[in-house]
């Protein structure tokens, strides 16, 4: 049986807002396996705002995706054939396998890691959400970069997104005094309070963010977990408490700008309020991922941590689904399902 492998490759570098036509769909046959190889069929592809940064030809923490290359992405798949003693057909695995239907590999880790077996009893897509890159990012941000201290007044932006929603809930689990999330639109904000059990939500599309921060935090914000940058970050600077901490996780507001927009006018609040600002990248913390996944699993199983997954369907819709992140459409982790477990 010759299988055809659909691949979404980078066709051209996006200028400004990424669009579907920046990618092209190619089909090619999957060759026969040789000894030591295995074939993975992707089931779910994961999308993250940071992937937008991988498309620009600039020096960053990892090299850019090259034109003509399969788009880099985390996925969960199932081994459909194996000539490798370490992997059996049927096994579910996760890895950076990209926007494609099949991956033929000898199982040795590439520059972005190898294959991880999905533990029994865990829904495979969970490996891409709470137990995947975005969940782990939230975890290390809230426990290592600027750990939540009991009683902290915590604010999280992008709070209905995959990282923000986990970060905000970890703050609650770790004993924050108050946790408020910033998100776009009434639906997301309602979810933050009713499902994620935050103390309040701020709708940046319909409310004055600065005023709402002052209302919710009359004594100021002790810990701000920032996923968006831009104007929201600027407003937050004015609402920080003395000796407050800002954990900078990302800045989705500028990822699709042709030129970098100006930064926060209120950055000098860092001096006046003696703030600490720290940025981080998940890749630096992967050695501790085992313990993090154990904690995150425990919280999701106990129901303390609610995980929302926005699962689109159909491999042909892959680039369109990526764009949902920048249109603010996703609630929770943006995934696409492209095949069923067999």
Q: Which residues bind a second copy (CB under 8 A)?
A: 60-61, 229, 234, 248-251, 254, 259-281, 284
- Least CB distance to a second copy at residue 15 (A): 18
Residues, the chain, total?
342
The CA distance from 259 to 287, in Å, is: 35
- Least CB distance to a second copy at residue 50 (A): 9
DSSP 49-84: THHHHTTS-S--SSPPPPTTSBPP--EEEEEEEE--
DSSP 105-135: E-S--BTTB--EEPPTTS-GGGGGTTTSHHH
CA atoms within 13 A on the CB side of 193: 10
- Least CB distance to a second copy at residue 56 (A): 11
Q: Coil, strand, or helix at residue 240?
A: strand
Question: Which residues neighbour 66 within 8 Å (Cβ) at sequence distance 6 or greater?
Answer: 10
Q: Closer CB to a second copy, residue 114 or residue 279?
A: 279
Q: Closer CB to a second copy, residue 38 or residue 156?
A: 156
Q: Closer CB to a second copy, residue 7 or residue 266?
A: 266
Contact criterion met (CB below 8 Å) for 94 and 42: no
Q: Closer CB to a second copy, residue 53 or residue 328?
A: 53
The CA distance from 30 to 79, in Å, is: 14
Neighbours of 15 (CB within 10 A): 11
- Least CB distance to a second copy at residue 277 (A): 4
Q: Closer CB to a second copy, residue 3 or residue 273?
A: 273
- Least CB distance to a second copy at residue 100 (A): 27
- Least CB distance to a second copy at residue 230 (A): 10
Q: Closer CB to a second copy, residue 45 or residue 236?
A: 236
Q: Closer CB to a second copy, residue 275 or residue 323?
A: 275
Q: Would you state the structure tokens that stand for residue 218, as one six-digit string?
A: 């009359």
Q: Closer CB to a second copy, residue 95 or residue 133?
A: 133
- Least CB distance to a second copy at residue 4 (A): 38
Ramachandran sector of residue 220 (left: φ over 0; alpha: ψ -120 to 50; beta: rest): left
- Least CB distance to a second copy at residue 251 (A): 5
What are the C-alpha distances in Å from 114 to residues 60, 105, 107?
Answer: 21, 10, 7
Q: Closer CB to a second copy, residue 60 or residue 291?
A: 60
Element (DSSP H or E) covering residue 139: helix 133-140
- Least CB distance to a second copy at residue 250 (A): 6
Q: Which of 255, 321, 230, 318 is nearest to 53 (CA)?
A: 255
Q: Would you state the structure tokens that stand for residue 179, as one six-digit string?
A: 């946790």
């Amino acid at each position: 049986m010759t299988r055809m492998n659909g691949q979404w490759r980078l066709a051209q570098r996006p200028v400004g807002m990424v669009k579907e036509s920046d990618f092209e769909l190619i089909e090619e046959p999957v060759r026969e396996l040789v000894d030591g190889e295995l074939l993975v069929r992707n089931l779910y592809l994961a999308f993250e705002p940071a992937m937008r940064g991988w498309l620009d030809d600039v020096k960053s923490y990892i090299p850019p995706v090259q034109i003509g290359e399969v788009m880099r992405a985390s996925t969960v798949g199932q081994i459909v054939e194996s000539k490798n003693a370490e992997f059996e057909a049927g096994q579910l695995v996760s890895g950076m396998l990209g926007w494609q239907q099949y991956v033929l590999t000898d199982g040795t880790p590439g520059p972005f890691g190898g294959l991880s077996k999905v533990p029994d009893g865990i829904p495979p897509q969970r490996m891409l959400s709470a137990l995947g890159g975005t969940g782990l990012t939230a975890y290390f941000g809230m426990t290592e970069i600027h750990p939540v201290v009991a009683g902290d007044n915590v604010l999280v932006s992008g709070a209905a997104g995959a990282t923000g929603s986990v970060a905000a809930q970890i703050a609650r689990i770790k004993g924050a005094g108050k946790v408020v999330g910033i998100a776009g639109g009434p639906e997301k904000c309602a979810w933050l309070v009713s499902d994620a059990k935050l103390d309040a939500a701020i709708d940046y599309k319909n409310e004055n963010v600065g005023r709402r921060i002052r209302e919710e935090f009359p004594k100021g914000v002790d810990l701000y977990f920032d996923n968006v940058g831009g104007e929201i970050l600027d407003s937050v600077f004015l609402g920080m408490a003395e000796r407050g901490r800002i954990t900078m996780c990302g800045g989705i507001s500028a990822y699709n700008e042709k030129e970098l927009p100006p930064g926060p006018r209120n950055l000098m609040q860092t001096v006046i309020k003696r703030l600490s600002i720290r940025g981080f990248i998940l890749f630096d913390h992967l050695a501790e991922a085992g313990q993090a996944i154990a904690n995150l699993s425990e919280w999701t199983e106990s129901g303390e941590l609610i995980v929302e997954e926005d699962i689109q369907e159909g491999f042909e819709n892959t680039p369109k689904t990526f764009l949902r992140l920048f249109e603010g459409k996703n609630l929770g982790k943006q995934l696409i399902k492209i095949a069923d477990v067999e």
